[in-house]
Structures are given as structure tokens and as C-alpha cells.
Amino acid sequence: MENAAYIGLSRQLTLRRELDIVANNIANADTTGFKVEQLMTSTEVGSRARNHDVDGGVRFVLDNGVARDFGQGELSQTGRTLDFAIEGEGAFFTVQDAGGEAYTRDGAFTLDPEGRLVTEGGLAVLGGGAEIVLDPAQGEPTVGADGVITQNGLPVGQLTVVRFDNLAVLQKGGDGLYRNVANAAPVDAPDARIRQGMLEGSNVNPLLEITNLIEIQRAYERVTRMIENASDLSKRAVERLGRAS
């Protein structure tokens, strides 16, 4: 009976993790540039508890990490001059943080007191490997689909938009940032188009995630009942053995 309990417990642990991920997806349904996540699971053959007449190992459920869907989110018009959206999957704005370059799909930018283009968290937005500095006295900037920024008819910088051959090298950080944890070389994304005055919404489907949430809760309840039934069977078996002796 211990085998069923151990297997059920391994499944409960992954279901709790999956529940957290789905709840986070729902909480970020309105977060700019958020990408929906899903738990990856696998099975592992492990040594069974002592149980005569049971052949082979038992299969435990393992948490294999989180998969992220980098599919395009819906673009919405904001009218703000310093709001930018990327039209094109797998491409990112480049920003500078304390650990080096980081990447984001959240293009809700602003200007700091020095005129630098920065994220809402205060990180400098990069263009050509350098910070982008605008002069408010030159009027509002215009950004073309290729990311070139102009003021008063003159180019003053270009948003650096890159992509990675393998998106698995990106690790999610806070504030909608991703960090390159494998030192993979980013490449230019010339096919990605910049849309000024727009932001990309999350690619979360709230209805689907709520359905997943209900399914996970029901699965957890089923596994709990299975463990309880296995425990009851084991208890009754011990009681019968005690009476027989």
C-alpha cells in the first residue's frame, strides 16, 4: 500500500506547483508583455516499497521545470509617445541592469531627469549598445518600424531589438525582465516591427487558465482520496492480520 501513497504524494507535489503557476498566469493576465507558463512533468522509475509479489519499479511524477509560451500577445493602442510594442514573436528590447544586459517585451518606457529612455523600473533602454538619450527641447520623438528614433527630423538613436536561437537560455527575473543565463549570443531581429503608441498585452487566455485551475483542483482531490483509500486498506489489512494471529 505504501507504493500507492508514495506515488500519490509525488503527484500532489507537482499539482501544487502547477496550481501556483496557473494562479500566477491568471494574476498576470493584464500584465504588459507577460508570457503564459506551464509546468513540465515527467516520470521516474524508483525503488518500490517492500511488497511481495509486486514486479518492477514504481513510477513517480517529477517536476521538470517551467515551459514558457513566447507567442505574440495582443497589441493595444495607448497613444503615449514612449510606449512601444514589438510585433514579432521571440524578439526583445534590450535594457541595462546591474548584472549586464537584460531583455523585455514591456515597452512602457519613460524619460528620467537626464533625458535617458528608461523602463518603468528605471533601467536604461539600450540602442547600439549605448543608452538612448533624448532632448525634450527637440520635441516628441518619432520611432519607425525599424526602431530608429528621430527628433526634429534627425535620427538620435535606434532601439536594440534582438532574439535568441534558443529561448531556453532566458531566465525570468522581476519586472518583466529576462536574463541570458547561458551567455548565448543574441542576434538582431530585423523582421520584428516596432509599433509606437502601443503596448503588447499578455498572451494569457483567462478562460483556459481558469479551466486548468478547476481541473488541477479536481485532480488533487482525486489523488487525496486515492491516498486515503490506500491508507484505509493498509490499516484494515493490519487489523485482520492482528486478529488472525
One-letter amino acid of 168:
A
- Report the percent of the chain where pLDDT is more than 70: 89
Query: Between the CA of residue 230 and those of 101, 170, 226, what are the distances in Å?
Result: 53, 42, 6
Write down the pLDDT at residue 64: 74
Instruction: Count the neighbouring beta carbons within 10 Å of the beta carbon of residue 113.
Output: 5
Write down the residue that cell numbers 510594442 correspond to: 85
Give the Cβ contact number of residue 226 at 10 Å: 16
What's the pLDDT tens digit per position in 75-96? Answer: 999 999 999 999 999 999 999 9
**Concatenated DSSP letters of 117-150:** EE-TTSPEEEETTEE-B--GGG---EE-TT-EEE
Is the CB of residue 36 less than 8 Å from the CB of residue 17? no
Instruction: Write down the pLDDT at residue 98.
Output: 86
Q: Give the model confidence (pLDDT) of 114-168 as tens digits.
A: 999 999 999 999 998 899 999 999 999 999 999 999 999 999 999 999 999 999 9
In this prediction the pTM is 0.82
Average pLDDT, the chain: 88
Q: CB of 152 within 8 A of CB of 140?
A: no
Give, as one character, the DSSP assignment of residue 186.
P
Give the ranges where the chain is alpha helix by DSSP (H). Answer: 2-27, 206-244
Q: Which of 88, 59, 63, 55 is nearest to 73 (CA)?
A: 88
pLDDT in tens, 96-122: 998 889 999 999 999 999 999 999 999
Tell me which residue has cell 500577445.
73
The pLDDT assigned to 45 comes to 61
What pLDDT digit, counting tens, does each position of 2-41 carry? 667 777 888 888 999 999 999 999 999 999 999 999 998 8
Lowest mean pLDDT segment, chosen from 51-55, 225-229, 234-238: 51-55
